[in-house]
A and B are shown apart, each in its own frame.
Chain A
Amino acid sequence: MNRIGDNATVTAGLSLKRVHKSFGSIEVLKDINLNIKGGEFVVFVGPSGCGKSTLLRLIAGLEEVTAGEIIISGRDVTDTDPSRRGIAMVFQSYALYPHMSVAENMGFSLKVARRPKDELRRKVEKAAGTLRLTDYLDRRPGQLSGGQRQRVAIGRAIVRDPDVFLFDEPLSNLDAELRVEMRIEIARLHRELGNTMVYVTHDQTEAMTLADKIVVLRAGRIEQVGTREELYDDPDNIFVAGFIGSPKMNFFSARLDGGEIEIGGHRLPGPAVKTLSKGEITLGVRPEHLRLAEKGEPFFPFRVKFAEFLGGATYLYGDVGDGALCTIASDRKTQAKAGTELRVMADPKFMTAFDDKGVRVR
C-alpha cells in the first residue's frame, strides 16, 4: 500500500523530505524539500557558505540529518551507511588515495566488497576507456595533472556504478580552460551513463550550462527550483534574479502607479502586475533588455561611466538618475564615451517587480 500510495518516491531518483541540519546550535539547513527524478542532472547553486556541501554530504551519508528523510531510488536511506546508499561522490580536492595506482584507486570499492578480480579489471578498464585514462592506469595520483586527477576521481565513481552521482565543486581547482573542457566531459558522461547526478557549484555559469534542474540555495534555504529558463525568465525573488545571469540583472527603486512606473522622476510604461496597483517596488531589468529610446518614446537617463568592448557585444556601465548602478548589454556597434548621457528604456514585458522584502510581485 505504501508503495502504491507514495508515487513520488518510486519514480524519484532522490527525494529529500523536511531535511534539517544543525551543527551544535547553528542551523545550517532549514526544511529542505526536494524531488529529483531518475536520470536528472540537478545543480545546487548558491553563494559560499549557504550549505550546498552540507546538503550533498547529507545525501552521501557523510553527515547525519538532524531531522527529515532521504530517499534514494524509493528506499529510505536516512540511516544507511554511505557505502550502501547507491551513491558515489567526487570531491573538490579529488581525495584520491595517494599510495595507490590509478587502477587501484578506481577499483578500490570493488576490492573492499571482495568482488572477483576479472570483474574489477573489466570495470576499471571500461571506466578508464570512457575517461581516456587507459595509458595512465599504472601511475600514482602524484604523477598526474589536475585534470587527470579529477578524471580518476570521476572514474572511481563510475566503477561503483551508483544510482546517484554526487559532485562537490569538482572543477574549482582547475584552471579556466580545463574547467570548460571538463564541464563538457561531465555533460557527455551524463548523456552516456544516464544516471541521476547532483552537482554543487557556486558558479552560476556552470549551473546554467550543465543543469536540467537548478536548485538555488541561500543561507540554508531553497530559494527556487526550476529549469534554467524558468530561473532566468521568471525568478521568484530578488536573490535568484540577481544570482542567475551574467552580467547581473539591474535593480532600480521605482514607484508603481497604475500601469506605469516612475524612475527618478521619469514615467514610463510598467510591468503587468495584478496583485499591486500602487506603491514602492524594486524594478529588475536584465542588461540585454535595456535599449536606447527612440525619438518621442518615454525614457530614463543613463550616464555612461565606461564601456567594455567584448567583440560580440559591448557592455556599458554607468548609473541612472538616482545614482543606482546599471549595466547595459548592447550590440557591438554601440559606442559611448564616458560621461555621455543616454536615453534608455525597456519593454514592459521584460520588467520584473519585487516588493520591499524582495519577493516577486506578479
Chain B
Amino acid sequence: MTATTIVGQDAAAPPRGGGRIKYHRWIFHIAAALVAILFLAPIFWVVAAGFRLPSEALQPLPPWPTEGFSFDSYVRLENYGQSILHYTMNSAIVSVGTALLTIGVAVPAGYSFSRYHFPLKGLVFVLILSTIMIPFQSILTPLFLLLAKMGLQNTLLGLILIYTTLQLPFSVFMMRNAFDAVPKEIEEAARIDGVKGIRMLVQVMGRLVLPGIVTVGLFAFLNAWNEFLAALVLLTDQDKFTLPVLMTAVRYGRYGSVDWGAVQAGVTIMMIPCLILFLILQRSYIRGLTAGAVK
C-alpha cells in the first residue's frame, strides 16, 4: 500500500465517523430522558401531592404544593381507623406469607417437573400453565364461597391462600426452568459425594437456583402487596384491611369529597417497601429472569 492512500483515508474518515457517533449519542440521551420523565412524572406527582396543605388536598389539581408544605395528609392517614403501621403490618403479613408459601410450593414442584418422570407429566404441566389464561376475576365468586366454607373469609390467611394460588403457575414454570438450567451432572456429582434428599435441595440445588427463587419470591411479594380486588371482596372487617383497600377507604373525606392528599400519602408509603426490596434484590432478580438464556 502506498503512503498517499493512507493519508487520504486518514484525512477523510475521522471527522465523519466522530460526527455520526456524537449525533447518535444526542438522540439517545434525549430519547432516554423523555422515557425516564414519562415513567417518573406520575411518581413525582404522587409524592408531591402528599405534601400539599389541607386546603389544597381535596382538589385533584395541581398535584403539587403551591401555597406551602405540610405533613397534614400523613396525619389524616395515620388517624384513619387503626394506625397506618397496623395496616402496613397486614399487608406485610399477606405479602411475605404469599412469597414464602409460593416459594415453598414452587421450588419442590419445579424440581419434580424438571427431574422426575411421572405419568401425564407433560399434560399436568400444560394444565398448570393454562390456568394463567383464566382471568381470576371470573373465579372470584367461587373462590370467595370456597373460603367461606372453610371459615377463612375475612382472614389474612384466606387472602394468602388466594394469592399463592394465583401466583403458582408462573412460579412453578420459573422454577422448572431454573432447575432445567442446572446440569444433571452437578447433582450426580453431589450424589456420589454423599448428598441426599432435602440436603440436595438446600445445599446444592437451592444455591444454584437462588436467582430463580428470588425472582419468584419478589413477584409473589409485589403482586400480593399491590393486589386490590380480591382483598376488597374478601376483607370486610376494617381491622384486616391491607394497604390497597385502606386507600379506597380513606378516600372519602368529609362531605363526600375525595381526600386526594391522604390517598397520595398512602400510595407514597406503599411504594417504599417495593423500592427497597427491588433495589436490594435487583442483581439476583435480573439474573433469574435471564437464567438459561446465556448459559
Contacts and interface: CB of A to CB of B under 8 A. Distances in A.
Interface of A: 60-62, 81-83, 87-89, 91-93, 95-99, 108-109, 112-113, 156, 160
Interface string B156-169: 00000000000000
A95 B185 contact: yes
A109 B208 contact: no
B119 interface: no
Contact of A60 (B186, B192, B194): B192
Which of A87, A88, A97, A156 has most chain B Cβ within 10 Å?
Answer: A97
Contacts of A160: 192-193
B192 A82 contact: yes
10 contacts: A82-B192, A83-B193, A95-B186, A96-B186, A97-B186, A97-B189, A99-B208, A108-B190, A109-B194, A112-B194
Secondary structure at chain B's binding surface: helix, strand, loop or mixed?
Answer: helix
A108 B194 CA distance: 9
A228 to B, nearest CB: 29
Interface residues of B, number: 16
B289 to A, nearest CB: 19
B208 A89 contact: no
Contact of A98 (B192, B194, B208): B208
Q: Which of A61, A88, A108 has the most CB of B within 10 A?
A: A108
A266 to B, nearest CB: 55
Contact of B193 (A91, A93, A108): A108
B104 to A, nearest CB: 22
Contacts of B194: 83, 109, 112-113
Contacts of B199: 112
Contacts of B207: 97, 99
Contact of A93 (B185, B192, B195, B208): B185
Contacts of B189: 89, 91, 95-97, 156
A243 to B, nearest CB: 27
B185 A91 contact: yes
B257 to A, nearest CB: 57
B53 to A, nearest CB: 54
A82 B208 CA distance: 22
